[in-house]
Amino acid sequence: MGRGLEPAWLRRGLDGFEIAALAVVAVLAALLVWTVRDHANGPESTAIPAVRAAESYVVALTSVDHRRIDDQIQSIRILATGGFRATFDEGAADFEKAVRTSRIRSTGKVVSLGVVSSTETGATVLVAARASVRSKGQAEAVERRYRFEVEVARVGGTWLVAAVAEL
């Protein structure tokens, strides 16, 4: 670069104030990078597997078929913590009977998710879902909409559902 094309600050050099200002900017940039990196390893990063657990559970719960209900109940149970699994088991026989008797076939799909709170060991996730439901005596499937509040907990490194409430 020719001498006349250099910026004025480069030709004259930096004074003490400009050097101090650049040092402050460099420190602030380093703090920003450190904060962003730390934030990515914090509770928010645990929300991703927690959300996946909530989503899997809601899809399993809203996707049932009277021809495969035994396997589907086992899939639902596997996604639950011990305490919640016991609660589900209390109503599983009635659930299975209702699905078989009404010959229900339902395909569920999550349409929206939101994390209410999350920590390293638990999270609360709001889930909106739709299901296309057919049952005995219906000519066409009926679309149903659901909203759930799902509590998930980290158990032995795996995220499992600890509670579900339909809203």
Same structural domain, 11 and 69: no
Q: Rounded distance, CA 25 to CA 57, Å?
A: 47
Same structural domain, 97 and 56: yes
Closest to 124 measured CA to CA, from 113, 108, 133:
113
Same structural domain, 116 and 58: yes
Residue-wise pLDDT for 46-92, tens only, equals: 688 999 999 999 999 999 999 999 999 999 999 999 999 999 999 99
Same structural domain, 32 and 113: no
Residue-wise pLDDT for 107-149, tens only, equals: 999 999 999 999 989 999 999 999 999 989 888 999 999 999 9
Same structural domain, 51 and 36: no
Same structural domain, 14 and 94: no
Q: How many helices (H) and strands (E) does the chain have?
A: 5, 4
pTM exceeds 0.85: no
CATH number (domain holding residue 80): 3.10.450.540
Same structural domain, 130 and 93: yes
Same structural domain, 101 and 67: yes
Same structural domain, 36 and 94: no
Give the domain range for residue 19: 3-40
Same structural domain, 35 and 102: no
Residue-wise pLDDT for 82-92, tens only, equals: 999 999 999 99
**Alpha-carbon distances, residue 125 vs 35, 49, 86, 128, 162 (angstroms):** 25, 11, 21, 10, 11
Tokens 């009977």: give the residue.
Answer: 97
The tally of domains found in the chain comes to: 2
Same structural domain, 68 and 144: yes
Q: Rounded distance, CA 167 to CA 59, Å?
A: 16
AA letter at 120: E
